[in-house]
Amino acid sequence: MEIKSQISNLDGSMTQIIYNDADSFDFLDKSKVKQVYGVCFFEGKMLIVFNGKRKAWGLVGGSIEAGESFEECLKREVKEESNMQVLSSVPVGYQAVTIGDNTIYQLRYACAVRPIDSFVADPDNAITEIKLIDPLSYKEFFDWGEIGNRIIKRGTELKYKLFK
């Protein structure tokens, strides 16, 4: 499923976003993949995090570090931002984000997680709180429009693959 969107930037330019469902990310240009986020589940609940710097709730994830695979980034970000361990993961889809002539990719996974210990804070001090919520109630915390709806819906649909 392809969903197109655009947002206007502060300078008046436009950012084009095209979301596509994907069962693999092998076909993407790895050098252009910049972010990995997870629709994470623990005991039937979806994990969300509060970014104190942005004052907003969202999914766990962040930027890929040099030499990291997509899965290594997902595992590191989940651990840093929630003190949880990724037990299994499957691709949900990706966003192609184009500003001017530059296109980057942002990946979305569904993952099963479990707590390692209590959450205190992430190393960047951005994430200040975590919650486990009913996936159907996510719009009480954030609403990312049609693309966000598809990411959460597909992540929820794929969670059965995580708990085999």
Q: What integer pLDDT is reported at residue 164 of this predicted model?
A: 63
Q: What integer pLDDT is reported at residue 100 of this predicted model?
A: 85
Q: What integer pLDDT is reported at residue 148 of this predicted model?
A: 95
Q: What integer pLDDT is reported at residue 79 of this predicted model?
A: 96
Q: How far is CA 129 from CA 27, 52, 100, 104, in A?
A: 35, 8, 35, 29
Residues 6 or more apart whose Cβ sits within 8 Å of residue 8: 14, 15
Average pLDDT, 10 consecutive residues per value, the chain (164 residues): 89 92 96 97 96 94 95 97 97 95 96 94 89 96 95 94 77
3-state secondary structure of 41: strand
Instruction: Name the residue with tokens 């190393």.
Output: 123
Residues 6 or more apart whose Cβ sits within 8 Å of residue 16: 4, 5, 6, 96, 97, 98, 99
Q: What integer pLDDT is reported at residue 9 of this predicted model?
A: 82
Q: What integer pLDDT is reported at residue 147 of this predicted model?
A: 96
Instruction: Name the residue with tokens 């649909």.
Output: 157
